[in-house]
Amino acid sequence: MRTGPKGKPFLEWCAENGKRGERLANEFREELPTELTKASNYKAKWKCLKCKHVWRAEMNSRTKSERPKGCPKCAHNAPASKTKNFLAWCEKKGELGKKLSREYVDKDKPPTAVTYASHYRALWKCGRCSHEWRTRVADRTKSVRPTGCPECNPPGTNRYTKKRERVD
């Protein structure tokens, strides 16, 4: 069990953090929370109180004070707001954000009406070859293997891996 420098037991931390702590304690799905600290790197199991989704995430990713992670499923479905939307996300992401906000050409939904984690299939226009295609916003913004223009990155190359979409 990792304790780390901030070795406060998870449950103790929960008790001191009001409604947020209460929610995390209720979403926690492990047997022995007393042995885990709030800053642990341990990937614990959580169950969302809202949508019942079960996922694993490091303890510290949920308890940290800056931009803690919540349920990934709820994040996909979250409505965009003034401060939480695709454009605001782009503005914080330097060159990558500039490129993505330039390539976002969807007319049905402005970039402020979707979130960076949205599953909405937006219309994009490649800055290099001008090809237009549709893909989920989340597929372009994810940190692991984001997708790019299918013309510039044809299937079979390493940079763009096209997978058949599963209908679920």
Q: Does 128 bind Zn ion (CB under 5 A)?
A: yes
Residue closer to Zn ion, measured from CB, 39 or 100: 100
Q: Does 134 sit near Zn ion (CB under 5 A)?
A: no
Burial class (CB in 10 A: 0-12, 13-18, 19+), 5: exposed
- In whole angstroms, how far apart are CA 9 and each of 24, 32, 55? 13, 11, 21
The piece of 21-29, 78-86, 96-104, 129-137 that touches Zn ion (CB under 5 A) is 129-137
What pairing do the DSSP bridges indicate for beta strands 121-125 and 54-58?
A: unpaired
Asked if 48 touches Zn ion (CB under 5 A), the answer is yes
E strand or H helix at 138: helix 137-141
Pick the stretch among 5-13, 27-35, 100-108, 141-149 that binds Zn ion (CB under 5 A): 141-149
Nearer to Zn ion, 42 or 55 (CB): 55
Do residues 25 and 46 touch, judged by C-beta distance below 8 A? no
Interface segment toward Zn ion; rule CB under 5 A; list 16-24, 51-59, 60-68, 137-145:
51-59
Q: Indicate the residue among 96 and 129 with the shorter CB distance to Zn ion.
A: 129
Q: Where are the beta strands (DSSP E) in the chain?
A: 43-47, 54-58, 121-125, 132-136
CB of 47 to Zn ion, least distance (A): 9
For 91, other C-beta atoms within 10 Å of its C-beta total: 12
# binding residues, Zn ion (CB under 5 A): 14
**78 counts as binding Zn ion under rule CB under 5 A:** no
Binding site for Zn ion (CB under 5 A): 48, 50-51, 53, 71, 73-74, 126, 128-129, 131, 149, 151-152
